[in-house]
Amino acid sequence: MLVVLVVLALVLISATFSQSSGGPLHTVQQGMASAFSPLENGATRALKPARDLVNWVSETFNARGQNSELKTDVQKLRAKLAKAQSAVGENEQLRKLVGLDQKGVLAGYNLVTARVIQRPPSVWYSTVGIGAGSGDGVAVNDPVIDGDGLVGRVTDVTPNTAQVTLITDSESAVSAKVLPNGPEGVAKPEAGDPSTMLLDFIDKNAPIHEGQMVVTAGWSNGTLSSFAPAGIPIGEVRQTTIGQQETYQNIRLAPFADMLNLDIVQVGTNGPARPGVSQ
């Protein structure tokens, strides 16, 4: 039957092409086309909603798939951007630390670089935890700096971590000197404002001006010493006032180090002996 149908189809095709446009086979073909045309059009219109629905579902799934791929690409790019920006920030901090190293602010010390792993829980910048401890040579009273200047001193150690009390802690104090040839005093935090420090015991007749740099004085009387050696930047003078009945000036400092956003610090370990400073 299949062979008969194939042969019949070939015969009809050959006859159709061999006849003129007015031949009987062409006439039959046109008549059947005219008869079935309304049915074909009706079926097309009837099936159009179903066909549109199928197309919509297909396009929706394709769009969702593309949206998911785009979200994945965005997440990967965001992660790469965050990593790159973090690396830029770390490189900047390390360059600052290298700059202080070149100035020799901790000459004679072995420097241990550590990341801050615990930050102050509030705006009262008292202590931070760092990822270096006695196993790295860190000891109590070692001075701690970042790329901007003095941060504080080590007050507690474990084999792998250490606690650093910041210079903005309410009980902190460090001997300080106003540059270039200014007098010496004591830098300590201002009560109620951890972002500001005070420079006490500066005679009211000493010429102090806004913008002058204040560094550690490295004070020692042979029995007692400041925990920090001389020359570490602390901050700059922001305001000076003198009361009529006062002996000393009221000097406010802005610390260089950003205590709330500390990330990478250096600890000065195994430094020169300082009388009265236990290690």
Q: Does 25 map to a domain?
A: no
Please write the tens of the pLDDT for every residue from 114-165.
999 988 666 566 889 999 999 999 999 999 999 888 999 999 999 999 999 9
Q: Does 16 map to a domain?
A: no
Residues 150 and 246 both lie in one domain: yes
Looking at 77, 103, 129, the residue that finishes a domain is: 103
Q: Does 21 map to a domain?
A: no
Is residue 24 scored above 80 in pLDDT?
A: no
- Of 110, 103, 101, give the one whose Cα is nearest residue 142: 110
The pTM is what? Answer: 0.64
Residues 83 and 188 both lie in one domain: no
**Structure-block tokens of residue 33:** 């086309």
* CB distance 89 to 252 below 8 Å: no
Q: State which H helix or E strand residue 96 sits in.
A: helix 24-103
Looking at 71, 103, 135, the residue that finishes a domain is: 103
Average pLDDT over residues 7-11: 77
Q: Does 22 map to a domain?
A: no
Residues 264 and 142 both lie in one domain: yes
Residues 134 and 229 both lie in one domain: yes
Is residue 81 scored above 80 in pLDDT?
A: no
Residues 215 and 77 both lie in one domain: no
Domain coverage including residue 230: 110-269
Higher pLDDT, 137 or 15: 137
Residues 148 and 85 both lie in one domain: no
Can you give the CATH number for the domain in which 152 is found? 2.40.10.340
Report the pLDDT value the prediction gives residue 269, as an integer from 0 to 100.
92
Q: Does 172 map to a domain?
A: yes
Average pLDDT over residues 83-111: 64
Q: Give the integer Cα–Cα distance in Å for 121 and 173.
A: 22
Residues 63 and 164 both lie in one domain: no
Residues 162 and 259 both lie in one domain: yes
Q: How many domains does the chain have?
A: 2
Please write the tens of the pLDDT for every residue from 221-259.
878 888 888 899 999 999 988 876 678 888 999 999 888
Q: Write down the residue that tokens 């929706």 correspond to.
A: 60
Is residue 62 scored above 70 in pLDDT?
A: yes
Residues 143 and 257 both lie in one domain: yes
Residues 133 and 196 both lie in one domain: yes
Q: Does 76 map to a domain?
A: yes
Q: Does 158 map to a domain?
A: yes
**Structure-block tokens of residue 71:** 């979200």
